[in-house]
Structure 1
Amino acid sequence: MGAAGALTVEGVTSARADGPAREETRTLTGRLPAGAPDYVYLPVEVPAGVRELAVSYTYDRPEVPPGTLGNACDVGIFDERGTALGGAGFRGWSGGARTEFVVGTERATPGYLPGPVRPGTWHVVLGPYTVAPQGMAYEVRVTLRYGPAGRTPAVVHPPQRAAGRGRAWYRGDNHLHSVHSDGRRTPAEIAAAARAAGLDWITTTEHNTTSAHGAWQGLWGDDLLILTGEEVTTRNGHVLALGTDPGVFVDWRYRARDGAGQGAFARFARAIRRAGGLVVPAHPFADCPGCSWKFGYEHADVVEVWNGPWTPDDEMAVAAWDAGLAAAARGGGRWLPAMGNSDAHREPQVVGLPQTVVLADSLSRQDLLAGLRAGRSWIAESSAVGLTFEAYGARGGRAGIGGRLRVRADDEPVTVRLGVTGVPGAVVRLVTDQGPVFTAPLPADGRLEWGTSAARSAYVRAEVRRGGADRPMVALTNPVFLGA
């Protein structure tokens, strides 16, 4: 993934300013051809005595033929510890959201990590997301600012639990972006929006950076738990590292087709779990460049099937997820729970549209993630939507969402009971491993029953849609499994 054979440095110039606040600016120019590596590393020699680096970059945007992608280039930086995949040198990433940033001992631009500025070879990393047929001409300016280093601010991370309501259903939005990546909201604005949406917890998931992990001081409380994570944004799909230990960075610089791509993803999936988090492929059928999921689901814990307002992408994700459920039910394999998140970046995108409602023993990181992993959850359009969904056996057994109703015989009658509030005029669809088996308007009292058996249905899940069976989703449950 290096720059060998693809990077032409056309010029490096320097300008110095002497005095108490001495600065030195270096300008690097070059051209990347179409087909350039995903990541190009520009070395910058940092001498002793530098307290911070200020970086800005530009690149050309030539006209391209209709239907052809033009130039788009991301940027980040690694320090003297190097650029090795998964190494310790990462100091920040802003993708294409910023044209300039600062990294220093005392401060850093959101998306970047303050800390020691040690002498050695640093690297500005360019990520040519798409390159026009004419190539991409770039200019990077690096200003070295000398002076006393000062002290790096202490980082305060959110607590791991909040007061909560004991064992209860908790509502969360676990895919959110702030000014620390390509969002426009501040952490304070996100926290306020989460409370207004009736959420119990949120997870901060910036693109390829952990700089937001310490940005929530004073924003959590007994009414709002804040977990940390990352949206690992590869060129072959995005994956949420959900609920990882604060400060843990997960690398993103690999593709599924690379010789080490699948191995790299497996490696970092294990790293996410070691850090206490869940591996959650996000918006797997999104049609933006690099967004659709190519790594498979072998290493996933949960899958995000509903991302923001309901779209055909979500319809495809639910269909693919359900096909996986049916295959797991027939073969006795592992099934993958579903979740939904807003992926909100800015106004008017709505925090909590949708939200995942999880049955957990407490409002804590450990119990919430356990509930998600077990599939004890359903997805709601908003906190105005309420739902209950259970299966009852003729001989007295009972199971809820994500559970299994064990019956003595496959032909034992099973009654499925659904209750919905806050969605007048909705249509309910029940889906089993055989496909949609029951569709009806939601009764006025919001309750309905349906009969089946383990012989007829390996699982049952519920969809609630507004205005028709093919209309936008309002609520979606994980399955209740039937049989031994």
Structure 2
Amino acid sequence: MTENGSGSIGRRGLIVTGAATALTLGTVSFASAAPSGGAAGGRPDETRTVRGTLPAGSPDFVYLPVEVPHGVRELAVSYAYEKTPVPVGTQGNALDIGIFDERGTALGGAGFRGWSGGARSAFFIRADDATPGYLRGPVRAGTWHIALGPYTVAPQGLPYTVTVTLKYGEPGTTPAPVYPPVRARGRGRAWYRGDCHLHSVHSDGGRTPAEIAALARAAGLDFINTSEHNTTSGHRAWQGLWGDDLLIMTGEEITTRNGHVVALGTEPGHFVDWRYRARDNRFGHFAREARAAGGLVVPAHPHATCVGCGWKFGFGDADAVEVWNGPYTPDDEVTLQEWDNSLAVAARSGRPWLPAMGNSDAHRDPDRVGGPQTVVLAEELSRAAIQAGLKAGRSYVAESAAVSLSFSVSGGHGQHAGIGERLKAGADEPVTARLEVTGAPGCSVAFVTDQGTLYTAQLPASGTGTAQWETTPSYATYIRAAVRHAPVTPGLPGPLTAFTNPVFLVAS
């Protein structure tokens, strides 16, 4: 690695730290510091530039310390790197960026001040404002750390340039954030539709919060959850966008090198760290932290094929799993089958089962907000009630608000169980599964058990119809319903239109 700059920059200091492998470079210093406690008004901006090359096999995070003197009003950073040509099949260069303030880089995030990944080439922070993805607040004196994340590095290395500018003056004041309320009026106990995986300009999305709120309403949603990559900056950006008809929950997409997880409904402003891999044995700690902050832990797109997206942490610390992510693709089918297998294991072992969700992961046009969406039975339209319904599996997933399902299983002695519940019946007592569907023209319905799909039927041309099937607890451990479009590839199932969480059959 090499470094040089326009100011006095010492040689790189090698420090391997923390859970995820990290490297600390030499410190960037600004020689003309203001007097201690001084305002430094009228002083010219100061800029330093660092250049270097990260080799293949670099640590996950490279920290560039910056000595910030007193009297700084604004800190601005820009960076660039070379996208070196690589052979076909070889990963090229990709470099993420973020920053930690004078409180340090220790895991847990006390010093966290922002992250934009690879979505931006520049950012600023000052007391009254900051670039989306970054937290506004005073630029206090001390050692700040620019965090570089070499996501992938070409065999030839990753040449980079980082430029830091300090602007002096009165620090200004930081407005108090206004966060979304935890409850909306709603309809009392009802089925509510939501999308809990969305991105705005506060991470790598192209839409503003206002645009997302409008699209959520147009999609027939009752609730959404903000889930920016590795930042909470967007939590304060929804003022005036909620209402009696739309509950806005705050969260984070914790984006590690071994998979992504949605922290769903955490307390506004609560940051959950992402700087670890499965080998570091830290995920359980941060999953518990997300829950302590009022959130649910939902692994996202577990079999996505993007680098770092595949889920490697296991599901023991999860509250639900995102089975369907955006337009239905083969990796969603793999996740669906893996989840279905887990239902049989849970039923056999008596361990808790993992409910399924579906979310859009919408970033920008033409991504469709609410496609798919999770429809949850909740006592009211509040964060706590929605989370309770999701965690209990009282939900189904639909491709849009046009699709509605009603699914239940009943026994011959008046027993009845809905989605996510258990039905007790004699081992050989007949039980009847019933599914009502609207809004699914050209689709078929199926009942799926631990043996696989045991019943299928074509819906009427209108897309509205009812299916009924009889079995016994000795023959089926659980029953769930699925609605699919016609197959696109011969021999493979068609894309999902909707599916339910299961009803478990318990032999009495």
- Segments of structure 2 that go 5 or more residues without pairing to the other structure are 1-12, 17-21, 34-39
Asked if 2 retains the 8 angstrom alpha-carbon contact of 1:309 and 1:353, the reply is: yes
Asked if 2 retains the 8 angstrom alpha-carbon contact of 1:22 and 1:147, the reply is: no
**Shift, 1:4, TM fit:** 3.5
Paired AA for residue 466 in structure 2: R
Question: What does residue 482 of structure 1 align with?
Answer: 505
Question: What does residue 275 of structure 2 align with?
Answer: 253
Please give the TM-score of this superposition, normalised by the length of structure 2: 0.91
Asked if 2 retains the 8 angstrom alpha-carbon contact of 1:3 and 1:39, the reply is: no
Alpha-carbon distance between aligned partners in 1 of 2:179 and 2:85, rounded to the nearest angstrom: 46
* Superposed CA RMSD: 1.8
**Shift, 1:453, TM fit:** 0.9
Paired AA for residue 505 in structure 2: L
Paired AA for residue 430 in structure 2: P
Alpha-carbon distance between aligned partners in 2 of 1:349 and 1:305, rounded to the nearest angstrom: 18
The DSSP-based 3-state class of the residue aligned with 1:37 is coil
**Matches of residues 20-419 of structure 1 in structure 2 within 5 Å?**
20=42, 22-257=44-279, 261-262=280-281, 264-407=282-425, 409-419=426-436
The alignment-based identity, stated in percent, is 67
Rate the CA distance shift 1:8–1:39 in 2: closer, same or farther, 3 A: closer
1:430 correspondence with 2:447: yes
Query: How far does the alpha carbon of each residue in 1:11-55 deviate from its partner, in whole angstroms, 9 at most, with x for none?
Result: 969798997152111111211110010000000000010111000
Alpha-carbon distance between aligned partners in 2 of 1:388 and 1:224, rounded to the nearest angstrom: 23
Paired AA for residue 483 in structure 2: V
Asked if 1 retains the 8 angstrom alpha-carbon contact of 2:260 and 2:311, the reply is: yes
Query: How far does the alpha carbon of each residue in 1:132-161 deviate from its partner, in whole angstroms, 9 at most, with x for none?
Result: 111111111110111001101210000000
Alpha-carbon distance between aligned partners in 1 of 2:485 and 2:152, rounded to the nearest angstrom: 39
Query: How far does the alpha carbon of each residue in 1:393-415 deviate from its partner, in whole angstroms, 9 at most, with x for none?
Result: 011100000001112x1111100
Report the count of equivalent residues.
Answer: 478
Asked if 1 retains the 8 angstrom alpha-carbon contact of 2:25 and 2:63, the reply is: no
Question: What does residue 473 of structure 1 align with?
Answer: 496
Asked if 2 retains the 8 angstrom alpha-carbon contact of 1:284 and 1:293, the reply is: yes
Query: How far does the alpha carbon of each residue in 1:205-237 deviate from its partner, in whole angstroms, 9 at most, with x for none?
Result: 000000000000000000101000000000000
Alpha-carbon distance between aligned partners in 2 of 1:160 and 1:13, rounded to the nearest angstrom: 45
Paired AA for residue 474 in structure 2: A
Paired AA for residue 437 in structure 2: V
Alpha-carbon distance between aligned partners in 1 of 2:433 and 2:496, rounded to the nearest angstrom: 20
Alpha-carbon distance between aligned partners in 2 of 1:95 and 1:124, rounded to the nearest angstrom: 12
Paired AA for residue 425 in structure 1: G
Alpha-carbon distance between aligned partners in 2 of 1:458 and 1:195, rounded to the nearest angstrom: 38
Paired AA for residue 472 in structure 2: S
Alpha-carbon distance between aligned partners in 2 of 1:10 and 1:357, rounded to the nearest angstrom: 52
Question: What does residue 457 of structure 2 align with?
Answer: 440
Paired AA for residue 109 in structure 1: T
After TM superposition, the structure 1 stretch with the greater mean CA deviation from structure 2, 304-313 or 8-17, is 8-17
Alpha-carbon distance between aligned partners in 1 of 2:138 and 2:496, rounded to the nearest angstrom: 49
Alpha-carbon distance between aligned partners in 2 of 1:421 and 1:217, rounded to the nearest angstrom: 35
**Shift, 1:448, TM fit:** 1.3
Asked if 2 retains the 8 angstrom alpha-carbon contact of 1:354 and 1:380, the reply is: yes
Please give the TM-score of this superposition, normalised by the length of structure 1: 0.96
Asked if 2 retains the 8 angstrom alpha-carbon contact of 1:342 and 1:352, the reply is: yes
The DSSP-based 3-state class of the residue aligned with 1:266 is helix
- Segments of structure 1 that go 5 or more residues without pairing to the other structure are none
The DSSP-based 3-state class of the residue aligned with 2:498 is strand
1:449 alignment partner, one of 468, 476, 491: 468
1:458 alignment partner, one of 457, 477, 487: 477
Query: How far does the alpha carbon of each residue in 1:344-368 deviate from its partner, in whole angstroms, 9 at most, with x for none?
Result: 0000000000000000000000000
The DSSP-based 3-state class of the residue aligned with 1:273 is helix
Alpha-carbon distance between aligned partners in 1 of 2:14 and 2:156, rounded to the nearest angstrom: 18
The DSSP-based 3-state class of the residue aligned with 1:213 is helix
Alpha-carbon distance between aligned partners in 2 of 1:196 and 1:135, rounded to the nearest angstrom: 46
Asked if 2 retains the 8 angstrom alpha-carbon contact of 1:7 and 1:32, the reply is: no
